[in-house]
Amino acid sequence: MYTQQVGLCKQIVREHYGPIVETVVAVLLREGRLHLGQLARRTKLTGPNIRRALAVLIQHGIATHAMSKDGSRMFTYYSVSLKSILRLQRAGLYLALVEERMGSEGLAIFRTIMVNGLTTIGSVREALGVAEMGNAAKIKFNSVVAKLVRDRYIIAVNPQDTITKVDRIMQEEAVEVEKLTIPPTAKELLAIRRKIIEREEEEYQSSNVVGIKRRASVDISADHSSKLHMGADGRTNGFNNYDSGDQNGYSHLNNGHQQQQQVDAVDDKQFFRAYYDRLDVFLRNQQIVNYFTDKYNAGAGALVKSILRVTEQHTRTCRVKLSETVSATQVFQHISAEAPLIDSIDTSKDMFHQKFDANGNPIVDTSSGTELSREKRSEIIFALLEVIHTDSSGIVIKVDERGTGQYRVNFERAAITLRDRCVDALVHEKFGSVHARLLRVLRDKKKLDEKVVAQATMLPIDSCRTRLHDLALAGMIDTVEIPRSADRNPSRMFYLWYVNADKQMRSAMRFVYQGMSNIIERNTKEVSARALLIAKTKREDVILDPGLLTDGERKELQNLARIKQRLTVANVRLDSMLLVIYDIDPLSADHQLLQ
């Protein structure tokens, strides 16, 4: 835990939930898990205020609780998750992702659940006013909710899920130990813990999703269905324009031709929450697609995107290090028809793909400039797969030569590659291109003496030494001592420069945390400096007659909107860097497993 990280979490909580909740979170971050009595003594707040603050934090999945015995009494201890707090800054990315994949209807439902925390589908239905709409809108709402649950954008929540994960695992472990007649050995205890983790994974992969139930429904023809539209505010009226001309829902169908089919339905009384681990997987996949798009072209990016789309249904969190196996045929079947494959790779001179007629002349493809034949399309896809799996990053690997080939995505290598690119950009922005070149040379060549570094980077030795010390002070590189003699005299030692990945990641995270904290502080200062003007815009007479604002006040409001937009863009950029540097790394995700 870093000082910058704690300070950022306090600012985020204050911005979202207010000063009282911030006080409780600050004490829990500083002191660790505490019970109500200890919180009251350290925060100087009243009992009701502390309980309300904890209720808000538990409602939004930030705080967890656990019963523990202290002496002869049982206490309920509370703790908070740093990762859950930091994810509040990623809300915009999550909403944009859901809108892209699930449409405006899925966005309205997901945003309602995100804003309210743990909530039932019945409450979401009431908040969106679905009960006042036609039958067709209700059917569409049910289908969108079922898809959100089935694809794990939202997951069911049980009372046990609000218990701290470490204590929950310990309780399950104790239940398994009680089944044994004798105390378990270390090997048996390890097997029990592995069994608990495997059980959780089996429950996730099961086709019987918690909260989903099957029921018969009338099959409505696609010709009679209409599209849902988001309202202007996008919050409570995402479904109110659906099929307004048909109040009975099924009056236009012939009852004699109605067909019964089994459809998924969600229990209205079951509580759900947004599943951010799953959304982080989608964001990670998008970063991988962007990497191949930037390095090669849009066609290569579309190809990698199709590979990830095939495998992502089995990828629960970023802890997964290898994807499922995908064949080239599956990639060909799932790649989008609009994928820009034309001119993405030249296969005309490829001896393995070039075809000849009976006279030995090469056959020229007669496809139009905007459309590809099925045969030409397959040639380009197979050629792109060969290029991508031989990429130096090692992200896409070929595991089998049978048929058209079997491929997997190495997420561990992807995390390292994306992190290196992000750190290079950070160093380039902070120090310049020469420092970034030094860092890349050390990463490629491992441990080097400063003279060798100067030769590799074509820099004078004095200038190279100065820049190496700049990077070392920033925590981007480190030194290792190799003694020439047993006395380890500093004057008789070799000092080699190298990249310490763990230290580099911690330093980069501190830069990002400090940057995000500065952005929030600047945003607060800009708003507070114009507090009187903002209060004036909220007056009823000004709302009814905007002409009461002077030209100078309007310009000041436009300037404030411009500044806030720039700060928001900078904050999203830094949060994307944090996602790449830490959140998507399978190794760092393993450390967060018990949080």
Q: Which of 24-28, 155-159, 437-441 is the least confident region? A: 155-159
Find the mean pLDDT for residues 106-134: 89
Query: Is residue 322 predicted with pLDDT exceeding 80?
Result: yes
Query: Is residue 370 predicted with pLDDT exceeding 80?
Result: no
Find the mean pLDDT for residues 587-591: 47
Query: Is residue 242 predicted with pLDDT exceeding 60?
Result: no
What pLDDT score does 207 carry? 54
What pLDDT score does 133 carry? 78
Question: Could you report the per-residue pLDDT of 216-236, keeping only the tens digit for each?
Answer: 454 444 443 434 444 434 444
Which run of H or of E encompasses 400? strand 396-400
What pLDDT score does 348 carry? 61
Contact between 365 and 341 under an 8 Å Cβ cutoff? The reply is no
What pLDDT score does 23 carry? 93
Contact between 278 and 316 under an 8 Å Cβ cutoff? The reply is yes
- How high is the mean pLDDT of the chain? 81
Instruction: Write the CB contacts of 327 (distance below 8 Å, at least 6 apart in sequence).
Output: 403, 404, 405, 406, 407
As a whole number of angstroms, the distance between CA 532 and CA 61 comes to: 35
Tell which residue, 580, 564, 569, has the closest CA to residue 92: 569
As a whole number of angstroms, the distance between CA 580 and CA 571 comes to: 14
Query: Is residue 203 predicted with pLDDT exceeding 70?
Result: no
What Cα–Cα distance (Å) separates residue 111 from each residue in 21, 147, 227, 264, 281?
22, 15, 19, 22, 19
As a whole number of angstroms, the distance between CA 474 and CA 500 comes to: 12
Question: Could you report the per-residue pLDDT of 256-266, keeping only the tens digit for each?
Answer: 444 444 556 77
Domain 428-499 has what CATH class?
A: mainly alpha
Between 36 and 197, the higher pLDDT residue: 36
What pLDDT score does 12 carry? 92
What pLDDT score does 215 carry? 57
Contact between 76 and 3 under an 8 Å Cβ cutoff? The reply is no
Contact between 67 and 114 under an 8 Å Cβ cutoff? The reply is no
Q: How confident is the model at residue 439 (pLDDT cuts 50, 70, 90)?
A: very high
One-letter amino acid at 121 equals I
What pLDDT score does 259 carry? 47
One-letter amino acid at 99 equals E
Query: Is residue 254 predicted with pLDDT exceeding 70?
Result: no
What pLDDT score does 563 carry? 95
Question: Could you report the per-residue pLDDT of 515-550, keeping only the tens digit for each?
Answer: 999 999 999 999 999 999 999 999 988 888 888 888
As a whole number of angstroms, the distance between CA 485 and CA 451 comes to: 21
Question: Could you report the per-residue pLDDT of 445-500, keeping only the tens digit for each?
Answer: 888 888 999 999 899 999 999 999 999 999 999 988 888 777 777 777 888 999 99
CA 503, chain centre distance (Å): 23
Handedness of CA 298, 300, 303, 304 (dihedral sign): negative
Tell which residue, 420, 463, 465, 460, has the closest CA to residue 439: 420
As a whole number of angstroms, the distance between CA 325 and CA 459 comes to: 46
Question: Could you report the per-residue pLDDT of 30-80, keeping only the tens digit for each?
Answer: 988 898 999 999 999 998 999 999 999 999 989 988 888 777 788 889 999
Between 592 and 345, the higher pLDDT residue: 345
Which run of H or of E encompasses 479? strand 478-483
271 φ, ψ to 5°?
A: -80, 140
The SS3 call for residue 176 is: helix
As a whole number of angstroms, the distance between CA 119 and CA 128 comes to: 13
**What's the maximum distance between 2 C-alpha atoms anywhere in the chain?**
97
As a whole number of angstroms, the distance between CA 35 and CA 66 comes to: 10
Triad 81, 86, 87: Cα angle to 5°: 100
Triad 571, 575, 581: Cα angle to 5°: 145
What pLDDT score does 184 carry? 83
What pLDDT score does 346 carry? 67
Instruction: Write the CB contacts of 415 (distance below 8 Å, at least 6 apart in sequence).
Output: 284, 318, 580, 584, 585, 586, 587
Q: How confident is the model at residue 337 (pLDDT cuts 50, 70, 90)?
A: confident
Domain ranges of the chain: 3-80, 104-274, 286-409, 428-499, 504-594
- For the segment(s) 3-80, the CATH number from 3.40.50.10540, 1.10.1040.10, 3.40.50.150, 1.10.10.10 is 1.10.10.10
